[in-house]
Amino acid sequence: MTADVLTSVAAPAANARKRRRPVTLVTCLIILGLALFAALFGHLVFPNATQVNILQAKLPPGSPGHLLGTDELGRDVFAISVAGAASTLVGPLIVAGGAMIVGTFFGLLAGFRQGPTDFVLSRITDLLLALPVILLGVVVAGLFGASYWWTTLLLIVTFAPYDIRIVRSGVIEQVTKPYVEAARLLHLSSWRIMFRHLLVNLWPLERTNFLLNYANAIIAMSALSFLGVGVQEGTANWGRQLIDGEQVLFSNPLVSITPAVLIVVVACAVNLLADALNSREGKGRGR
């Protein structure tokens, strides 16, 4: 009797969780789909988003033709937010992809070879992890100028150590599995074992870490842009909008609030997507 009661109580809760997961996944995909559309076509939809119009500066939200008002330079907040999706989202995508490629290569090498190779790569990884990203970004900007692509390269270098550690741990776990031992008995080359066999089994781990890196890179690049390091002044970029909105924070707070909300929403959507995919992967393995 007690078991039946517990089953009847647990069943609706389990069904509710199953219903929530697809809703979360669909919501994240919709948000990211809109962000992708803005990144690809934002400049086409609003080609004059960065055009200065002093005569319409500091207009409040709801003004005719300006739903979210204008900033200090008379640029429409909604238009520049849509147009700024490209510079805000493309750079972090390159950062996450570049860090995954570098981290996968050296993580596979360290975990599979072990010994001196693992020791040297681990010490270099520890050194890179100890570097403060924001301070390093300011130093790089001072040496080479506030360049968007220098910032992207810098973040690839500073994000790659996390991938190296994660891939290395996954490889160390996998090398004791029977399929690796069988590949070694067949005298397959180390490179073939690493990139044809180990890499396939590490894909779920790398996919999740790629999405997490992407979310973190969005925040990091926006923070550097806020400091004037990531992009040039006048560029349509959510991080740059945060600092541009300081001058009109009280007359039109949406100049800063809009990009801040967009950064948080997109980063959270990426994180939740990674969590949803990871949950579905775990559920599939359970079956």
65-106 pLDDT, tens digit each: 888 888 888 888 899 999 999 989 999 999 999 999 999 999
The residue extents of the domains of the chain are 45-286
pLDDT value, residue 283? 55
Which class for 27: exposed (0-12), middle (13-18), buried (19 or more C-beta within 10 A)? middle
Give the model confidence (pLDDT) of 158-167 as tens digits: 899 999 999 9
Quick one: CA dihedral 21, 166, 93, 68, positive or negative? positive
Quick one: CA dihedral 64, 65, 71, 72, positive or negative? negative
Give the model confidence (pLDDT) of 4-60 as tens digits: 544 454 455 555 555 555 788 888 899 999 999 999 998 888 888 888 888 888 888
Mean pLDDT estimate for the chain: 83
Give the model confidence (pLDDT) of 222-264 as tens digits: 888 888 777 777 788 898 888 888 878 788 888 889 999 999 9
Tell me what percent of the residues of the chain surpass a pLDDT of 90. 24
Single-letter code of the amino acid located at 266: V
Residue 2 has pLDDT above 50, yes or no: no
pLDDT value, residue 195? 82
Single-letter code of the amino acid located at 160: A
Q: Say how many C-beta atoms besides its own lie within 10 A of residue 62's C-beta.
A: 10
Beta-bridge partners for 63: 66
Q: Are 35 and 89 in contact (CB under 8 A)?
A: yes
CATH superfamily of 45-286: MetI-like (1.10.3720.10)
Largest interatomic CA distance in the chain: 77
Query: Cα–Cα distance between 254 and 257 in angstroms, integer?
Result: 5
